[in-house]
Amino acid sequence: MNHLHTNKFYINGSWVQPDGTDTLDVINPETEKSIASIAMGSAKDVDNAVAAAKEAFKHFSKTTKEERLALLEKILEVYERRSDEMSQIITAELGSPISLSINAQTVVGSGHLKATIKTLKAFDFEETNSEGDLIIRDAIGVCGLITPWNWPMNQIALKVFPALAVGCTMVLKPSEVTPLNALLFAEILDEAGVPAGVFNLVNGEGAIVGSTLSNHEDVQMMSFTGSTRAGTLITKDAADTVKKVTLELGGKSPNIILPDADLTAAISRGIKHCFQNTGQSCNAPTRMLIHESQYEEAIAIAATIALETKVGSPSQKGGHIGPLASEMQFNKVQALIEIGIKEGADVLVGGLGKPEGFETGYFVKPTIFINVNNDMEIAREEVFGPVLVMIPYKNEEEAIAIANDTPYGLAAFIQAGDVEKAKSVMRSLRAGMVRINGTDIGYASPFGGYKLSGNGREGGLLGLEDFCEVKAVSYPK
């Protein structure tokens, strides 16, 4: 961590001193001790970064697709060479077990970059429509990018690489909970030769740096990933300048286990996915829906599988889960577990407090609630911890109704013996992504959701189009 420019911002191709002197400690969630202190930005820092991006846009927006492809290829080379550093940093600041950091948290960065390169190669910036008019996609301009702490490189990659691909310039504000990976990312882009002003980074609070970006008259687009509450504030901030806003927000994703599914395999997949990353995933399958005739059997299977879930040190390799990312997140998860108990849901495994032997650190017990109905707060609020609710349903129609009875619509999961049957159910689900029998969408597929889960899509063709304006040109034929 010592080599990182923690006390500076990356603006106009250089590491610069911040406008003010405010700092914030970065806390290791395993030890609860500071591992670094970062500079916190002001409105003036944002102005400087936006001015650099605005100036750089004049030339970067005119680069060719081939030039930008060469730049992305160079970034990929540097990123992969420094991936071990990235994994170590994410483990230290997020508490992600090192195996998860290596195999998921870091590798998604190169995965999204490779998909962006592939998509850009096939992307047409100009086409002639059925009227004979020329339709042009231009880079939208200066983009404000705000990313979360739970999958930090995933979200940075899904914003920065498509923006670069189409010729945008940008200012990134990473989460202040996990800012160190973003500082390393800035080093990677600098080493790869990204032109000055094209990529800029300012650390700081959402209320200051984020709000200044959202309000800024020289920012043409805001791309935000985080809570629904913060997303609505950004949208309101952006309204006065009528800038484009794309949002990837929360979720309370259903996991429908159809009666013909392999019950043990389906429940095992569902629990492991829900608990992955200590439950800190917006698309986690946190509501498991089981046919009432199989509910008691499912409970017995779930208890066995959940008790096999190990909690351990992030520095140790293995399939265990680590701590939550922060004290604030720990307190939020504990409060929601307590609400679930007060509502009358029964704790199958886990519950309040820390696991035995983990007095220090933001560790929580992997928890499953049973005898839950979908009106309970524990079934409606996004917990963002390793907390699963198991809900019985009477028939397929009721399963679909329960699945859709949520303010969110990010993801949905179906487990079935008959895949065609699962596809039939899928068509009735109001969610941006549906995953059947443990499969996952590819890097070049659109990531995003319905309803309060946001608007816009990240990844692939739609991810590139989100960073474009469209120009229609008529001319004498």
| Residue 1 in domain | no
Other C-beta atoms within 10 Å of 372: how many?
22
Distances (CA, A) of 244 to 204, 224, 343: 22, 11, 41
In a domain, 447, yes or no: no
Half-sphere exposure in the Cβ direction for 174 (13 Å, CA): 32
- HSE-up (13 A, CA, CB side) for residue 163: 28
d(CA 322, CA 275): 10
pLDDT for position 1: 66
356 shares a domain with 307: yes
Question: What CATH number is associated with residue 436?
Answer: 3.40.309.10
The Cβ-side half-sphere exposure at 199, using a 13 Å CA radius, reads: 26
pLDDT tens digits, the chain, 477 residues: what are they? Answer: 668 999 999 999 999 999 999 999 999 999 999 999 999 999 999 999 999 999 999 999 999 999 999 999 999 999 999 999 999 999 999 999 999 999 999 999 999 999 999 999 999 999 999 999 999 999 999 999 999 999 999 999 999 999 999 999 999 999 999 999 999 999 999 999 999 999 999 999 999 999 999 999 999 999 999 999 999 999 999 999 999 999 999 999 999 999 999 999 999 999 999 999 999 999 999 999 999 999 999 999 999 999 999 999 999 999 999 999 999 999 999 999 999 999 999 999 999 999 999 999 999 999 999 999 999 999 999 999 999 999 999 999 999 999 999 999 999 999 999 999 999 999 999 999 999 999 999 999 999 999 999 999 999 999 999 999 999 999 998
pTM: 0.97
291 within some domain? yes
**Residue 469 near residue 477 (C-beta atoms within 8 A):** no
415 and 306 co-located in one domain:
yes
Q: What are phi and psi of 282, to 5 degrees?
A: -65, -25
Question: What is the DSSP track for 348-371?
Answer: EE--SSPPTT--SSS----EEEES
> How many domains does the chain divide into?
2
| Residue 278 maps to a domain | yes
108 domain-assigned: yes
Q: In which order are the strands placed within the sheet that holds 134-139?
A: 126-128, 134-139, 468-473
Give yes or no: residues 217 and 296 share one domain.
no
* Residue 210 sits in the same domain as residue 269: no
Is residue 313 located within the same domain as residue 403?
yes
Give the pLDDT confidence score for residue 260 in this predicted structure.
98
Looking at the fold, whether 412 and 277 belong to one and the same domain comes out as yes
For residues 295 and 164, state if they share a domain: no
Residues identified as active-site: 248
> Same structural domain for residues 137 and 46?
yes
Distance CA 4, CA 278 (A): 27
What string of DSSP letters covers 136-177?
EEEE--EEEEE--SSSHHHHHHHHHHHHHHHT-EEEEE--SS
Structural domain range at position 411: 254-442
CATH number of residue 139's parent domain? 3.40.605.10
Pair 194, 298 in one domain? no
**Same domain for 245 and 273:** no
Same domain, 77 and 212: yes
Q: Is residue 2 included in any domain, yes or no?
A: no
Residue with tokens 């030339």: 59
Contact 146, 210 (CB under 8 A): yes
d(CA 266, CA 438): 8
**Could you give the 3-state DSSP secondary structure of residue 224?**
strand
89 and 231 assigned to the same domain = yes
Domain assignment present for residue 448? The answer is no
Cα dist. 444→61, 76, 458, 459 in Å?
Answer: 23, 16, 9, 5
In a domain, 99, yes or no: yes
Q: Which two tokens stand for residue 311?
A: 């909690």
